[in-house]
Structure 1
Amino acid sequence: MKKHKELNFVMRFGRLYRRKSINISVMVNISEEGRHDLSFATLRDVDRMSVTEIEEQLSKNAGQIRRREDPHLGFALRLIHKLPHFFTKIFLRVFGFLVHDLNLDLSFARLPQDPFGSVIVTNVGSLGIKKALVPLVPLTRAGLLVSIGQVCKEPIVVKDKIEIREIMHLGVTFDHRFFDGAQAAKMIRDFEAFLKPEEK
């Protein structure tokens, strides 16, 4: 997204606006007393971070969320859990309108600004799922979702020979209102180049 800025947009009132920073959110599973809940940890200005810094920040944020200690999200989750289902839907719509459409900073109310960022990443492999395509969630306003599947051994062709290798499938879903196949192809080529092993 740093290289291809046309991938980093948010939609307000039907128009696209370029985000000033590159933020991603990673889904976090919260398990307690037989209940399962899903939250998210947001990493801001992720393009300026090293892989090690991303891992450290993600571990820290996920730990805070599971302990209900996140200064912003913890408050929002506690509020949502106390509201009746009908009022929860109203709260989320009002929240989305204020934060996304009006672009208001509600940090004074301990509500995060642009909470989901540009990309949402979810590790479905931790649930034993090999591959999945995650549906778009209108509330998030994220134009790109990436699912990380479970690592499995599969037969693949390597130099015209079949070999057994450990494979991890990535599922990518993108909002066609934000960009189309041409922009997505650029992103995929860059991603493949980044993961390609160095020639010996």
Structure 2
Amino acid sequence: MSLADSRLPIGGHVHSGGVEEAIEQGLVRDLVTVEAFLNRRLRTTGAVSASIAAAVCESIVATDVADAECDARTPSPAARAASRAQGRGLLRLAKVSWPEHDWTALPPRPHLAVVLGVVGRVAGISGQDVASIQVYTTMTGSAVAAQRLLALDPSEVAACPLRLAITCDEVTDSVCAHLPELVDLSDPLLDVLAESHAHRDRPLFVS
């Protein structure tokens, strides 16, 4: 539950998951379009990262291979940088929380999903649970950012993840049912938004 908490100090609060740029371009305007955006992220980016996190947690894929697979499934350099930034944050927390574990097997700047997979293994939780955490946090970070940027009613925005809970479960179940095969998806729109945001003058969020 702590790993799924948006207050986890890994830098997630400075990332919008593309929703800031989607708002700037008029693609996300209100509660309906926020929910549609969240649903899209769940079924694409969420599924890909959950697949890799679960595979690492279950020791199906080595960390260096998983890190390369993350790169291959993230065409946008800006999105890759955002994932690695949050991965570094989680790794820093993990080293403090489980100092007895040897973390040197991870790359210097690992993707978030790769670190989460190792953290899940060290913490003794299942790949299914790790996938669920990854899917859930893919959605909630963008939801909180959208609420702030559009000045929406916090209660109405908080209800979006509740309505999408069944989608989270469906994505998680699908990902885990197909292991050891990794999800091979990309969303061109999210890639374009990530790149556009990286070149925007003075954005509020890093990504």
TM-score normalised by L of structure 2? 0.28
The structure, 1 or 2, with the larger RCO (C-alpha pairs under 8 Å, 6+ apart) is 2
Normalized per residue, which structure has more helix? 2
TM-score norm. by structure 1 comes to: 0.29
